[in-house]
Chains A and B, each alone.
Chain A
């Protein structure tokens, strides 16, 4: 909706901007601390179970340990697995292995190199690679491009400040799919016979559970509390404390992503602590909501339309032939 001056860009109370009164609940969201994610994928499974999201993509990617591909219509949570030739702070993978240089698919090594011998763990014998794992999800942006461009009103802002699709109103136009700067939302195509084929699908931040005062299924299932659910205001504070803590511990790679209400999407309802550049995790480095440029787009289009009208009129001026 175009309401106030920050409707398309800038910090704004997403919920109030969408017309909820003062008595709406505080904005809810996630702080995902990827530094403690163990890649167990409990969140992926819990989400599928609770929301009855069908499974497909049983094919392997043949390039990494990530077997769930991407966020898509049938994958509302996605755990990325990144293998890097870099040591992570105090991470001890429990392996005594020679220097790892080949970063293709790891192959099985003779079992003796996998045996951990007590007392032999020195820094020199630790593998110099690290795993980065990160559970990704819809960002529930403050300025949500998907919601802005939806022509049916199927996507709406809930009273919790989250972005939800109503599958009975969505007409499957797919506009939201191309508009999301994070590649989150997608029209369901498969498997045959699944419900809502042809309809846009994404994380609802477990709207049904929030309504009942519950924690979303993925956060509930996360054994390490890598996925923290709560009031966005409070989560932002928690995130700053955590990143400061990591910096103090010498992990200077730690950074927050998506927490700033002045950023390109007006801050995300779901934000992250990352240990490397966003693109390493498959996230855009500096996303901006596409509707930020919408006023300019309409201006240019109006000028073009006028040019066409004037051009057609001019064509009829002059020689009569």
Chain B
């Protein structure tokens, strides 16, 4: 029940806010946006930490709302969904690494990639089904194929990718059995070894990218506003995480490509994230505040440390593995941070009213034009 009320913005915390916003409402009849501070709403905005005083970089937004209550609903998703986003990216990147390792003769990296992909895929499936409540509900998604629904498209992408990733991992497991134990149909699996692995690698990139569309195709302000750069943040994050797994699981003699992928992924993720915040306007604010802010800062630190570690730890297995773990943790923090920022942005009507008012002032109402 307490969850119910909080989600509707009617819990005790929201009640406190409501009283404050009533003061703004009280003088309604006009709207004041972008002006000075009043109404005493909680201080928002990015802060610059300098010597001495804190300086507010984004001025407090003035806006009118209905007793401070949310306008859009936050998604009802819980931590299952960021886990799903992270695991999906990890699986996709791992399949790519495994395919490359297979083609270039790096058996340990290939094994790590294939087993990692299957494990991550299983985690993401469990998270998804847990979110839906019962497994049979997943089947309802297979009733239709809808191009306008990223969730439907994603389900089909996974349905193509999953069997290949599974077959590649199974072939890998069979190859580890002593020849005498490969009986019956198991004898056929080695035939699938390379084709399944390559198909999984080809089907993997969409798995990593579609989750960005999944979040962006909503009315959640901080997700929708990020739609241009979010796919790049997510594929960068997927590359960094899977390269991290490669560093953890394979000996240093085989991890050259994983190191390069780690650095490339981390650079892409950080650069795209930077660009994304610039283009998001006021809806970038939740990425710096509260839980989301802490997660995003952790993500940045872990990714930077992990990438540097990956680049320099060439001869030490232990250091490589540590860098790899940091990269995976960084990727997970990115997913959780962006998820939380979106949820927070949906609960504050400011992130709906202010950008729409700014757009109205700039371009007038959105209207269809031939």
Contact = CB atoms under 8 A, between A and B. Distances in A.
A69 B8 contact: yes
Interface stretch (B48-56, B223-231, B292-300): B223-231
Contacts of B104: 316, 320
A178 B66 contact: no
A61 B10 contact: yes
B285 to A, nearest CB: 18
Residue among B66, B96, B144, B314 with most chain A CB within 10 A: B66
Residue among B10, B210, B228, B258 with most chain A CB within 10 A: B10
Nearest to B254: A321
Q: What is the predominant secondary structure among interface residues of chain B facing chain A?
A: helix
Contacts of A82: 25, 28, 66
A230 interface: no
A284 B4 contact: no
Given A153-B143, A172-B137, A290-B218, A62 B209 contact: no
A162 interface: no
Contact of A308 (B141, B205, B353, B357): B205
A69 B14 CA distance: 12
A242 B92 CA distance: 58
B232 interface: yes
B146 interface: yes
A247 interface: no
Contact of A279 (B1, B63, B257): B63
Interface in A255-286: 260, 262-264, 266, 276-277, 279-286
Interface residues of A, number: 100
A174 B235 contact: no
A103 B138 CA distance: 50
A43 interface: no
B357 A181 contact: no
Contact of B19 (A1, A63, A85): A63
A314 B22 contact: no
Given A85-B27, A304-B232, A312-B100, A178 B213 contact: no
A294 B360 contact: no
A305 B206 contact: yes
B144 A282 contact: no
A149 B217 contact: yes
Interface residues of B, number: 107
Given A173-B131, A183-B70, A153 B146 contact: yes
A113 interface: no
A318 B228 CA distance: 32
Interface string B122-162: 00000000011100011011011011111110010000000
Interface of B: 1, 3-5, 7-10, 15, 18-19, 22-23, 25-29, 31, 63-67, 69-77, 92-93, 96-97, 99-100, 103-104, 131-133, 137-138, 140-141, 143-144, 146-152, 155, 201-202, 204-206, 208-210, 212-213, 216-220, 223-224, 227-229, 231-232, 234-235, 238-239, 243, 253, 256-258, 260-261, 264-265, 268, 314, 346, 349, 352-353, 356-357, 359-360, 365-368
Given A103-B26, A285-B357, A320-B104, 10 more contacts: A8-B148, A153-B146, A172-B137, A175-B75, A181-B219, A282-B67, A282-B69, A285-B360, A293-B224, A311-B239
Q: Which are the 5 A-B pairs with shortest beta-carbon distances?
A: A282-B66, A304-B231, A178-B75, A305-B205, A171-B137
